[in-house]
Amino acid sequence: MENNTDKNQNKSSGNIITAFLLNLVFALIELAGGLYTNSVAILSDAIHDFGDSLSLGVAYYLQKKSEKRGDNKYTYGYKRFSLLGSLFISVVLVVSSVFIVKESIERLISPQEANATGMLILSILGIIVNGAAVLKLKKGTSHNERAVTLHMMEDLLGWGAVLTGSIIMMFADVPFIDPLMSILITIWVLTNVYRNLRDTMRIMLQEVPRQVDIELIEKKIKSIEGVDSVHDLHIWTLDGENHILTFHLVTAGSAGMESICSIKERVRNMLQKEGIGHVTIETESEAEKRLCRGDLTCRN
């Protein structure tokens, strides 16, 4: 039976491939529109969107890869492959942002006349296409989807700037408006890229998930009848959604096998409610803990 994690992963892949197809179709429309209006700016953006499509295609491949279960090569599964998609898109965003800033500064220094009517028509279409992609992706929970959403938001805001600039330029001779707005949008995009990269690196370095309170988890485990103490507790996340917990559990008194199984079951059910699905429990009795005290081999 398909669990919630599998459903979320399948939804993530579906969202990314939708964004990929929308972006690719619009890039083709831009190419035709750029040739028709003889606009270098639109042709340049068409090339940019073809690059976006490539990055989205890579993101989709890595997201699908992340849905594979563990094997002899990757025993925890392939979930972290989705983080590679997030990193790839973030790098593409940084490179494209540098290019946009460079072009915008050059246009601020040497303003260029543009076909305002053609810009207006394509900007409306661009807002519709990229807006649809953002709406499809905005509820995504994976870091890969967040990076893709940011990617599409960059394009959406960019076309919003083109729309605003084209309307202004239809009534006033102010060609500097478009590059100025592009720079402001790029600053916003880079700020969010930094946040996404920061969160991705924290996962890679096995930081404790932000939404997990270790002290509260320990307290809840200790409150379960038959548990004496907890030690060597480690928690990390594979991809920001699938958390892993390992720890040593010391049972009170001389608990039998049936009692230990019951305690483990209650612990797992409690942790499942806390959003921790992969749990490894090493059990010890009070006598075993005293015997192993000071012996590192017992604690590894």
pLDDT tens digits, residue range 193-202? 888 888 888 9
Q: What is the pLDDT of residues 177-189, one digit of tens each?
A: 767 777 777 787 7
pLDDT at 5: 52
Task: Tell me the pLDDT band of 287, cut-offs 50, 70 and 90.
Answer: low
Kindly report the pTM of this predicted structure.
Answer: 0.68
Q: Are residues 101 and 234 in the same domain?
A: no
Distances (CA, A) of 95 to 100, 156, 164: 9, 18, 25
**What's the chain's average pLDDT?**
78
Q: CA Rg, the chain, in Å?
A: 26
CA angle 157, 165, 193 (to 5 degrees): 25
pLDDT at 41: 57
pLDDT at 42: 63
Task: Write down which residue in 158, 178, 204 finishes a domain.
Answer: 204
Which of helix, strand or coil describes residue 285? strand
Does the pLDDT of residue 239 top 80, yes or no?
A: yes
Q: Are residues 22 and 103 in the same domain?
A: yes
pLDDT at 18: 77
E strands in the chain: 227-237, 243-251, 278-285
pLDDT at 244: 92
Tokens of 142: 């994976």
Task: Tell me the pLDDT band of 1, cut-offs 50, 70 and 90.
Answer: very low
Q: Are residues 18 and 99 in the same domain?
A: yes
Domain carrying residue 22? 4-204
Does the pLDDT of residue 295 top 60, yes or no?
A: no
| Side-by-side strand order, sheet with 278-285 | 227-237, 243-251, 278-285
Q: Are residues 60 and 200 in the same domain?
A: yes
Provide the domain count of the chain. Answer: 2
- Average pLDDT over every residue of 38-52: 64
Residue 209 lies in a domain: no
Q: Are residues 228 and 275 in the same domain?
A: yes
CA 16 to mean position of chain CA atoms: 11
What is d(CA 202, CA 244) in angstroms, rounded to the nearest whole number?
15
- Average pLDDT over every residue of 246-252: 89
By residue count, the chain amounts to: 300
Q: Are residues 74 and 221 in the same domain?
A: no
- Average pLDDT over every residue of 56-75: 81
| DSSP code of residue 235 | E
Task: Tell me the pLDDT band of 2, cut-offs 50, 70 and 90.
Answer: very low
Q: Are residues 10 and 113 in the same domain?
A: yes
Percent of the chain at pLDDT > 90 equals: 10
Q: Are residues 155 and 39 in the same domain?
A: yes
Q: Are residues 85 and 133 in the same domain?
A: yes
**H or E element in which residue 189 lies:** helix 177-204
Residue 255 lies in a domain: yes
- Average pLDDT over every residue of 101-109: 80
